[in-house]
Amino acid sequence: MSCWRFVLRRKLLPYIEGLLGTRDVMRLERHLLDCEPCREMLVRLRAGHNLVRRLAPVRSTDSRQPSFADLMRAQSEMASTRTRRFLTGWDWSDRLATPRVVTALAALVLLQTVVLVVSNRGLVFGERTTASAKPSGLELSQFRKLSISELKFNSQPHVATEGYVEGVHTDKEEGTVAFRLVESRGGSQPFVVCEIAGPIQMEAPREGSHVRVYGVARYDAQADRKWYEVNPVFHIDTLGH
Amino acid sequence: MGMKRLELTAAERNDAGKRERGLVLAAQRGDSTAFRALYEDYRDRVYSLAIYSTGDDSQAQDLVQVVFLSVFRGLKSFRFQSSFSTWVYRIAHNECQNYHRRRRANVVPLEVILGGIEEIDPKPISDAQHARQECQSIVQQAVMQLPFQMREAVVLRYVEGLSYEEIAKVLGCAPGTVASRLSRALAELEERVRPFRRFL
């Protein structure tokens, strides 16, 4: 069994070392009264702490350590080697011609090419395009995938849902783009309203296109409307036109 | 062997800090005597960290030289944004880490520290001193068996006497992470040394 109060557990060692303030000491000691795992950990840490206090610096004898003169000699040798190589220039062409450098350069060129192709594959291959502005630290795989009809049963904040785009509306003043996403082409229900809002900038999806939208799930309940929303939208995958 | 930093009073630490700042400024102006003084102040500390990291005397000496060459080259651009000691330990930590990446070894052979200690002091010693050294070597063996990250935190805290905040700056992590790392290390040490309790 272990204690889930990991913030308090982290204070056990500073407590042993007398580094905690009065308030933290009182809080920790109150917790220790009720928590056997932490009391056991405290005993182990005390024993470990008594052990490491016996550690001493390990010093070699002076004759075996590099002296200051050795250090200065090494420094001036390095400096004169760098100067010699710079003046003669032979080192640079030799360095550039080594197999390792050539391989590294080739790998770099290949990587650049791959990055260019991947980021422009819509242009190159005419395939699905994406628009994205997801928050840092959040992976698309962490968005819960569900259909538009399932949104009403959803309790997770980050969702991904797909459908057909209709009624794209751009509000230049507000800097927002809103559209409806319907589950089946030609049908009006069920639907979800999606909104791309500033500061997130992304291209509006095309009318009629089949897309998957990633964003925050909401329920908008007003006097004149009650509908589910994905607002704001973080990412759109175009699945077909 | 100098006093551990943990054992210095606040006033002593303050005086040492002022002296050190003076030496660093002089060394930055090209005063080789000042640089020599800094080298001699820190050589043993860096060696201690290096030997605990590598377990090998000749590797540790190479690391000492590499570290101080980096210190020498970078001294003019040192801006006192951290303490000089934190800066030196950070360079030493990076070199030790590079050493481990090259060696891909986290667990170090156990015998070197013991062998090193016996060679350092060939004079006859009393039974009490012998017993103390035996205890110390058991603990050192256990420390050398810790994973590199834990071992480093233990050495910086309990050998070199750095505070949690200073260790965090050296290792490039949060003080809470240092506390966690030290806690795991001490718990593991206690477990490893438990069978030898009767010798301690």
What is the share, in percent, of chain B residues with pLDDT greater than 90? 35
* Verdict on whether the full-model pTM lies above 0.80: no
Q: Is A60 on the interface with B (CB under 8 A)?
A: yes
Separation in Å, CA of B57 to nearest CA in chain A: 8
pLDDT score for B154: 95
Residue A18 within any structural domain of the chain:
yes
User: Which tops the pLDDT comparison, B45 or A7?
Assistant: B45
A131-161 exposure pattern, b = at least 16 Cβ within 10 A, e = fewer? beebeeeeebeebeebebeebeeeeeebbbb
- Which CATH number goes with the domain that contains A204? 2.40.50.140
Q: Please check the confidence at residue A211 and state whether its pLDDT lies above 90.
A: yes
Separation in Å, CA of A2 to nearest CA in chain B: 14
- Residue-by-residue DSSP string for B5-24: GGGS-HHHHHHHHHHHHHHH
The tokens for A224 are 């004149």
Task: Give the lowest-confidence range in A49-63, A106-120, B137-151.
Answer: A106-120
Separation in Å, CA of A17 to nearest CA in chain B: 11
Q: Is A3 on the interface with B (CB under 8 A)?
A: no
Residue A104 within any structural domain of the chain:
no
Residue A117 within any structural domain of the chain:
no
pLDDT score for A4: 73
Site from A8, A46, A60, A76 to mutate, B interface, most B CB atoms within 10 angstroms: A60
Give the long-range contacts of residues B82-87, CB within 8 A, separation 24 or more: B82/B169, B83/B17, B83/B166, B84/B20, B84/B21, B84/B24, B84/B38, B85/B20, B85/B42, B85/B45, B85/B162, B85/B166, B86/B162, B86/B166, B86/B169, B86/B170
Q: pLDDT for B84-140, tens place per residue? A: 999 999 999 999 888 877 776 555 554 444 444 444 444 555 666 666 777 777 888
Q: pLDDT for B2-37, tens place per residue? A: 445 555 677 877 888 888 999 999 999 988 899 999
User: Which tops the pLDDT comparison, A148 or A62?
Assistant: A148
Inspect the interface and report whether the beta carbons of B1 and A57 lie closer than 8 Å: yes
Nearest to B189 among A48, A70, A72 (CB): A48
User: Which tops the pLDDT comparison, A35 or A116?
Assistant: A35
Residue A29 within any structural domain of the chain:
yes
**Residue range of the domain that includes B152:** 5-199
Q: pLDDT for A52-99, tens place per residue? A: 988 887 776 655 566 777 777 777 776 666 555 555 554 455 555 566
Contact present, A198 and A176 (Cβ < 8 Å): yes
Alpha-carbon distance of B172 to B185, in angstroms, equals 18
- Which CATH number goes with the domain that contains B78? 1.10.1740.10
Q: pLDDT for A162-196, tens place per residue? A: 999 988 888 776 677 888 899 888 777 888 989 88
pLDDT score for A127: 47
Nearest to B179 among A13, A55, A71 (CB): A13
**Residue range of the domain that includes A156:** 140-240
- Residue-by-residue DSSP string for A58-77: ----GGGSPPHHHHHHHHHH
pLDDT score for B118: 41
Interface ipTM:
0.74
CA A176 from chain center: how many Å? 26
Domains in chain A, number: 2
Residue A64 within any structural domain of the chain:
no
Domains in chain B, number: 1
Separation in Å, CA of B33 to nearest CA in chain A: 10
Q: Please check the confidence at residue B173 and state whether its pLDDT lies above 60.
A: yes
